[in-house]
């Protein structure tokens, strides 16, 4: 987005809802025809007729080119291919477009010589099935292989807690819950499954994991952070191993992305531009603290886990050493991208911009392009402005404002990963694991993760675990809502409420499955009679959001077709009035009361209300397998989770983090009561 734009005004470009994307894209950027694109982009070397496979898709024509010899080292293959490329072909490799910009005319992939295509949140094929995904990616790949040098494209997607855009994929807990497991090996297993489900359906690249260190839970991306503690986040950087494995050529591995580099979780409240309050704001710090808190996970991501790509943050950094008031956008920060990341840390992968990330750099469009490239970003996520980016970058190179050496460095890095992924040998989707998407084994792993992520904050007189034959009164709006328990980045950018939004089990479903002998009464608002109930389980918390629309005090989302034009509730660290009311009603009527908080961050519980709650559980955003919550409620598994983020007494305490002077939260970082398994 450009600096003159409000985050609210660019929602259409940040997500591509299937029902309305077409009209919005046309309104924002008129997509030229393939012929017009070829004319605008420069002289096209011409298309070649290639042999095809049984499905009519072009095959790579190997007539002895060194870059097509898999026996040669990757470095040699890259150098040979680079020596054959025109400037236009190199710039094309540096460009990533959104599927919505090319889906109606895949020949644009050929004409623009695109290096990559992505799916933004909610940008999916019709129907939204594993098979359709694989077919879609292969259709774009076929277009890429119509180019002169037949360089395959790499397809990216936000598989941040599962292949969340895909209906039927296994949806795991968000990172805030995974951090509470204190089990990096479990997370590696999870990301291996995510990689398998992602690559089986076409995409070879995941924009994950987020290794941000969230220091203020008013931030709308807090749930994407494993922890507030940089040491714990650094341990979870091993998630990269789950995505990438030891061989990127394997059909169950994808290229990983460590994001958002760096400091996005450490921005100060009320420093964000436009309608946001903290997301995309300014990290005001000194270099020592920045290295200790914000850079630490990237050192592990690069040096220990060899992440394939890194994505810069939308945020800025303002060094206190030279005075406050001169922040530098991360996408423009040569010191941190080129000197620190690529230089001192030795990162040898490629840097991918965030969605229109350079549009926030001060200056006109040529300045934004020039500054972004010279800062060290290698590939540019220009969803609906790919052609404009390419033509402008060509002008900048020809004018001598961007060097040929900088272009060659970027393209070398991109090509190396494509060779490592084996795309020149197997450009089309390997569907070996297609039938395993959303399989019972994968969902069993998600269930395990859910159970291990639950944090028992309070357990008066050992109320939990519950008896499996108890008379249980279940209430609250998050007890039977798949959309709410999955959160944002699920089928759409912001996610949405809805019981049947995706396959899986709600928490209510899980209670009924795990304790079939229990007598369960369900009443969302607590209006059903409570007489005779042994215990209440009240499930409250947040409704879905993502990024700046999740900021406390930020704008209210009202643009998802599922919302019917009604703005979503204002985001707050305090429980919503409807949640407080159902707790008061039900916990006031039933002697024993358990409250589960389904949320992307801690929620403030007033002292008077807390006194009526016998057991309190941080359930986070568990994803598709709500039975994992029931497992610990009824003692099928023990409670073992520990808080990955400090639970404040009031919103006024934020930001509050372990190690702060005068640290006095309601529940400390690392807090978590344990239970035993019921027999």
Catalytic residues: 354, 547
Burial of 216 (0-12, 13-18, 19+ CB in 10 A): buried
Contact predicate 607/580, CB 8 Å? no
Q: Which residues pair with 119 in a beta bridge?
A: 157
Contact predicate 540/597, CB 8 Å? yes
Contact predicate 117/124, CB 8 Å? no
Q: Identify the H or E element spanning 318.
A: strand 316-319
Alpha helix (H) residue ranges in 515-648: 577-589, 607-610, 627-633
Residue-wise burial string across 610-632, b where 16 or more C-beta atoms lie within 10 A, e elsewhere: beebbbbbbbbbbbbbbbbbbbb
What DSSP letter does each residue of 502-542 carry, written as one string? Answer: SSSB-HHHHHHHH-TTSEEEEETTS-S--TT-SEEEEEEE-
Residue found by looking up tokens 């070829």 in the block:
38
Three-state DSSP class for 615?
strand
Contact predicate 102/33, CB 8 Å? no
How many Å apart are CA 642 and CA 658, to the nearest integer?
A: 13
Query: Residues with Cβ < 8 Å from 408, sequence gap 6 or more?
Result: 82, 90
Query: What are the phi and psi torsion angles at 194 (to 5°)?
Result: -60, -45
Contact predicate 134/431, CB 8 Å? yes
Picking from 335, 296, 302, the residue whose alpha carbon sits closest to that of residue 316 is 335
Q: Identify the H or E element spanning 257.
A: strand 257-261
Residue-wise burial string across 526-560, b where 16 or more C-beta atoms lie within 10 A, e elsewhere: beeebeebbbbbbbbbbbbbbbbbbbbebbebebb
Picking from 313, 315, 376, 311, the residue whose alpha carbon sits closest to that of residue 342 is 376
Establish how many alpha carbons lie within 13 A of residue 410's alpha carbon, considering only the half-sphere containing its beta carbon. 29
Report the largest interatomic distance among the alpha carbons of the chain, rounded to a whole angstrom.
81
Contact predicate 16/122, CB 8 Å? yes
Q: Identify the H or E element spanning 282.
A: strand 282-285
């Amino acid at each position: 987005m450009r600096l003159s734009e409000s985050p609210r005004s660019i929602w259409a470009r940040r997500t591509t809802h299937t029902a309305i994307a077409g009209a919005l894209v046309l309104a924002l950027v008129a997509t030229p025809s393939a012929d017009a694109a070829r004319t605008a982009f420069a002289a096209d070397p011409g298309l070649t007729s290639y042999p095809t496979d049984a499905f009519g898709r072009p095959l790579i024509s190997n007539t002895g080119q060194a870059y097509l010899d898999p026996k040669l080292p990757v470095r040699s293959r890259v150098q040979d291919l680079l020596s054959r490329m025109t400037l236009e072909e190199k710039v094309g490799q540096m460009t990533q477009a959104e599927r919505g910009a090319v889906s109606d005319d895949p020949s644009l992939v050929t004409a623009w010589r695109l290096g990559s295509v992505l799916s933004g949140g909610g940008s999916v094929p019709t129907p939204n099935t594993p098979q359709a995904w694989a077919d879609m990616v292969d259709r774009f790949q076929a277009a890429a292989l119509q180019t002169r040098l037949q360089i395959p494209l790499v397809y990216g997607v936000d598989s941040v807690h599962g292949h969340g855009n895909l209906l039927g994929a296994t949806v795991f807990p968000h990172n805030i819950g995974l951090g509470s497991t204190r089990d990096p090996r479990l997370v590696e297993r999870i990301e291996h499954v995510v990689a398998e489900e992602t690559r089986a359906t076409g995409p070879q690249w995941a924009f994950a994991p987020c290794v941000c260190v969230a220091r203020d839970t008013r931030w709308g991306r807090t749930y994407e952070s494993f922890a507030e503690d940089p040491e714990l986040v650094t341990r979870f950087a091993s998630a990269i191993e789950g995505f990438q494995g030891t061989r990127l050529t394997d059909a169950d591995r994808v290229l990983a992305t460590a994001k958002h580099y760096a400091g996005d979780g450490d921005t100060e409240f009320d420093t964000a531009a436009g309608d946001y309050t903290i997301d995309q704001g300014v990290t005001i710090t000194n270099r020592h603290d920045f290295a200790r808190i914000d850079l630490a996970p990237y050192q592990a991501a690069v040096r220990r886990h060899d992440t394939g790509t890194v994505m810069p943050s939308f945020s800025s950094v303002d060094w206190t050493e030279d005075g406050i008031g001169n922040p530098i956008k991360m996408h423009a920060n040569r010191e941190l991208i080129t000197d620190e990341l690529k230089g001192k840390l030795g990162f040898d992968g490629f840097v991918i911009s965030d969605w229109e990330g350079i549009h926030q750099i001060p200056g006109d469009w040529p300045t934004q392009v020039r500054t972004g490239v010279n800062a060290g970003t290698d590939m540019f996520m220009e969803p609906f402005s790919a052609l404009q980016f390419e033509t402008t970058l060509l002008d900048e190179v020809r004018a001598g404002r961007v060097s040929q050496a900088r272009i060659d460095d970027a393209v070398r890095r991109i090509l190396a990963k494509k060779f490592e992924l084996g795309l020149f040998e197997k450009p089309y989707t390997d569907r070996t694991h297609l039938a395993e998407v959303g399989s019972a084994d994968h969902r069993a792993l998600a269930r395990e993760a859910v159970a291990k992520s639950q944090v028992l904050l309070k357990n008066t007189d050992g109320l939990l675990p519950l008896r499996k034959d108890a008379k249980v009164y279940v209430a609250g709006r998050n007890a039977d809502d798949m959309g709410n328990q999955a959160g944002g980045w699920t089928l759409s950018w912001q996610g949405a409420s809805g019981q049947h939004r995706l396959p899986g089990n709600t928490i209510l479903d899980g209670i009924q499955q795990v304790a079939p002998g229990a007598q369960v009464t369900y009443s969302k608002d607590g209006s059903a009679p409570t007489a005779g109930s042994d215990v209440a389980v009240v499930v409250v918390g947040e409704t879905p959001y993502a990024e700046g629309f999740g900021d406390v005090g930020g704008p209210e989302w009202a643009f998802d077709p599922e919302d019917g034009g009604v703005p979503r509730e204002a985001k707050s660290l305090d429980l919503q009035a409807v949640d407080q009311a159902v707790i008061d009603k039900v916990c006031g009527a039933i002697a024993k009361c358990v409250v589960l908080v389904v949320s992307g961050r801690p929620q403030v519980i007033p002292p008077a209300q807390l006194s009526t709650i016998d057991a309190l559980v941080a359930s986070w955003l568990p994803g598709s397998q709500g039975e994992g919550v029931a497992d610990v409620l009824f003692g099928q598994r023990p409670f073992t989770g520990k808080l990955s983020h400090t639970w404040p007494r009031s919103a006024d305490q934020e930001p509050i983090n372990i190690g702060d002077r005068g640290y006095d939260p309601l529940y400390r970082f690392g807090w978590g009561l344990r239970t035993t398994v019921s027999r």
